[in-house]
A and B are shown apart, each in its own frame.
Chain A
Amino acid sequence: MGSKKKEDVESSESDNEVTESRNDKNKEESTDISTKLTKEEAKKFYEEKGIDLSHDVPIHSIPIPPFEKSMADKIVSKFGQKAVIDYVRPNRIRVNTKREDILDIAYFIRDELKFDHAESVGGVDYPDSKEIEVVYHLGSYTDEQLGNKIIALATKVPREDIPNPGKDSTRTPSLREVFYSVEFHERECFEMFGVYFEGHPDNRRLLLPEDWADIPPFRKDFKIKGR
């Protein structure tokens, strides 16, 4: 009985294309289950029970806050096309840029906007578009007003199918001379994603063992055993 109900849930979630294709795949695998409801029947079943299965995310409906908007406008008026504002939300701004311009924008954020330290530096792997994104989350201690604000500064670097960390084209300028606090975060990003930070004085491994001989483990093509 429990497994039947699970199937209903799977088959009735079809809000977007991604789930659609996934459901189709599930359907092919489980066509022999005779008790399975059709999509319409399942929808009716849940409507009668009063259960809403839609997945609306209301975060985009929040109005744009003026303080953050003015800060984003400062960046755009200074750099124009070089800085793309991805989103402006309460206390959060995200700026996308090319790796050639990231140092200039980082200096501007530090000297003009008074952000003084990095909270985190993380990589995101996108194997489909052959890119790795490096995201810096920058915060401020010195300015009273900016205590709750965080700027995410992101850049994309090319990704190679057979990585050779430190020697291939997966490289970006290091922000260590701008924000000293990125030192260990960038070292972690280097070993986990194979992104080489040019100008970093100490591009050594940090967390991984010295004899690690596999690809950088946080890339999507590194699979956990048994999964």
Chain B
Amino acid sequence: MDSAVSDAAPGVTPLVQGDEPLLPWQTDPTRAPIATKIVVAGGFGVGKTTLVGSVSEITPLQTEALMTEASEETDDLTATPGKSTTTVAMDFGRITLDDDLVLYLFGTPGQQRFWFMWDDLVRGAIGAVVLADTRRLKDCWPALDYFESCGLPYIVAVNHFDGTERYEPEDVREALTIPAHVPVMIMDARRRISVIETLLSLVGHALDETPE
């Protein structure tokens, strides 16, 4: 039986409810682990939070960004009227891959009007998993357009929901006009193994896209 040993530094008490147990890399102030990230994008309710939760070693956290939202009609940088402030929630989880390597997964809303946030989020990212639901395939179009335009490596992961019609990856590729070299897979965001396979596929693809 495992015995839980607290390695918290003396005098350090948990400050915030929901704070997680300490990992060794969190207590060494002399060096930080390498942080890297993967973006999980897709429409509302497609399973981004489920995907993040399936592999995260911490309970997924939620952070919010206040942003200025340009309405569709005033989609122009010079136009300040017609903008309103909105709050966008973003879920994230963490996987410690090595004692000095930590991978973060950021689940982010895929709506077109949140592009402002994505610019910041995709900087330095390994790539993106575009999560799709074949019942609402259009919901992932903005994410695809975005990643294609900014050149971030991405893959398409169809989160297959129980009791829904099963499509072949090639049907989805054709409908979404995904280039042949970009992986398209059918997966289950609830299953850890399936999510890990999805992440492996993305990182492998990002490696293919990175020059020697």
Please say whether chains A and B are actual partners in one complex: no
